[in-house]
Amino acid sequence: MKPAFALDHHRLLLCLGPGGVGKTTISAALGLRAALDGHATSLMTVDPAPRLLDALGLDTASPSLQSVDLHGLGARRGGRLHAMRVDPRQVFDRLIERYAPSPAARSAILTDRIYRSLAGALSGVADYMAMEQLLELTRDPADPSQPSSRVVVIDTPPALQALDFLDAPRRMLELLGSRAVTLLRPRGRAHSSDSERSPFRTAFSVLDLAARMVLGAFDRITGLNLLTDVQSFVRNFDGMYAGFAERAAAAQALIRAETSAIVVVTVAEPERVAHTQEFIASLTALDLHPAAIVVNRITTALPHESDLDGADLPPPLLRKLRRNLADFAALKRREATALDNLRMSLAKHSPILFAPDLGFEPRTLADLATIARHLRAPAELSRS
C-alpha cells in the first residue's frame, strides 16, 4: 500500500510541535521510512537532548553524522540512514576555517575571547549554526567523506524554540545589516557625496560617536577594554559578512522551497491540540504552512462492548472486560473530539496522518520501524 504522505517530492522535512508529543520519535520514524523506501537519508536533531540518537542506537557524544545499521529491516536498494545531533560551536568553527579570508584571520577569530564566548552562549547563534548544518546536508558536500542525501529530516526543538530556529536566517540578515555592526566595523575613507552629507547621515554619525564615547568611558572605568575587543572581533570578520548573508538568504529560501515540507506533530489530547493550533497560527504569521499533521499515539481499535455478549467467560472476568471496554470507548470519544477540533483549525484538505500508540515508549530501531511502517492516513487505518 502506498503511504499517504509520500516522500518522493520532498527533499527536506522539518518536524515541529509542542513538547511531549513524541516529535523526536516521529522525526526518526519519517527518516527511517524514507531510508527503507530506498532513499539516502540524513536525520538531524537540533534538540540538545540525546533521545533521537539513543533510539537509533548511536553514540550520543559524537557531533558527526553516524551511519544507522538497517540490516534486517528490509530496506530497498539504495536506502541508507545517517543521523547526527548539531554541535553549534563545531559548526561555527568549521565555517571560520572554511571561509576566513586568510590563515591569520582564521587564527585571530578562533582564538578571540569574544568569539569563544559567543559561539556557545547565545541561542540565536545556535539556531543559525543549525541552519548552516542544514545547508551542508542538503547541498552536495564539498567533503567527499560526507554522504550526499536525497532526503533530510530535521527534529527541531519544542514549539516556540522551533519558531526561533525557522526565523534564524531572517534575524541573521537583519543583524548583518544593522547599525550595530556598521558602527563597529572599520571605517573607510570619508566620502563627500550628497547622500553622505544628508541630515540622516549626520544623525547617524552623532549616534555612532555617542555610542563609542559611552563604550570608551565604560572601558576606562572597568578596565575591560570592551570597545577595543569588540572592534577587533568585528574587524576580524571583515571579508566574511557577504558570505554569511548569502548563506542566510539560502537557508531562508530552502525553508520555503517547494521541495521542503513542515510536518507538525501533536497528540489527540485537548490541551496539546490547543497548543498545536496556537503554534500553527504562529507559523502562519511567518507565512509558513504545514504540509502535513502527524497525530501521534493513536490508540488501537478494540472490540465493542456488545461483542462480549455470549462470550464463554467467567462472570468476574466478563465484568472486568466490560468496564475496560467502556473506559476505552470514553477515551476514544475524547480522542475523536480533540481530532475534530484540530481539523476545524486546519486548511481544507490538509493531510493528517496517524501514528500508532505502541503501548510503551519506543526505545529501539525496531520500535521506530514499526511506527514508520504503520504511519497512515485515517482512511487507510480504517481499511487495515
Would you kindly state where each structural domain of the chain is located, as residue ranges? Answer: 12-87+126-161+260-383
Q: Say if CB 30 and CB 264 are below 8 A apart.
A: no
Residue 375 C-alpha cell reads as: 504511519
Topology annotation, domain 12-87+126-161+260-383:
Rossmann fold (3.40.50)
pLDDT of residue 148: 60
CB atoms within 10 A of CB 208: 15
CA distance 359 to 336: 19
pLDDT of residue 297: 94
CB-side exposure of 122: number of CA atoms within 13 Å? 13
CA distance 65 to 262: 22
CA distance 208 to 84: 43
Three-state SS at 199: helix
pLDDT of residue 206: 42
Q: Which amino acid is at 113?
A: R
> Can you give the pTM of this predicted structure?
0.80
Alpha carbon of residue 382 to chain centroid: 32
Using 50 as the pLDDT threshold, list the residues of the chain that sit under it. Answer: 1-4, 144, 189-207, 218-219, 221-224, 380-384
pLDDT of residue 7: 56
CA distance 240 to 236: 9
Three-state SS at 43: strand
Q: Which amino acid is at 340?
A: D
pLDDT of residue 126: 77
Q: What is the DSSP letter of 66?
A: E
CA distance 25 to 15: 10
Give 50-55 contacts, CB < 8 A, sequence gap 24+. Answer: 50/85, 51/24, 52/24, 52/27, 52/28, 52/83, 52/85, 52/155, 53/83, 53/84, 53/85, 54/363, 55/24, 55/25, 55/28, 55/362, 55/363, 55/364, 55/365, 55/367, 55/368
pLDDT of residue 217: 53
pLDDT of residue 270: 92
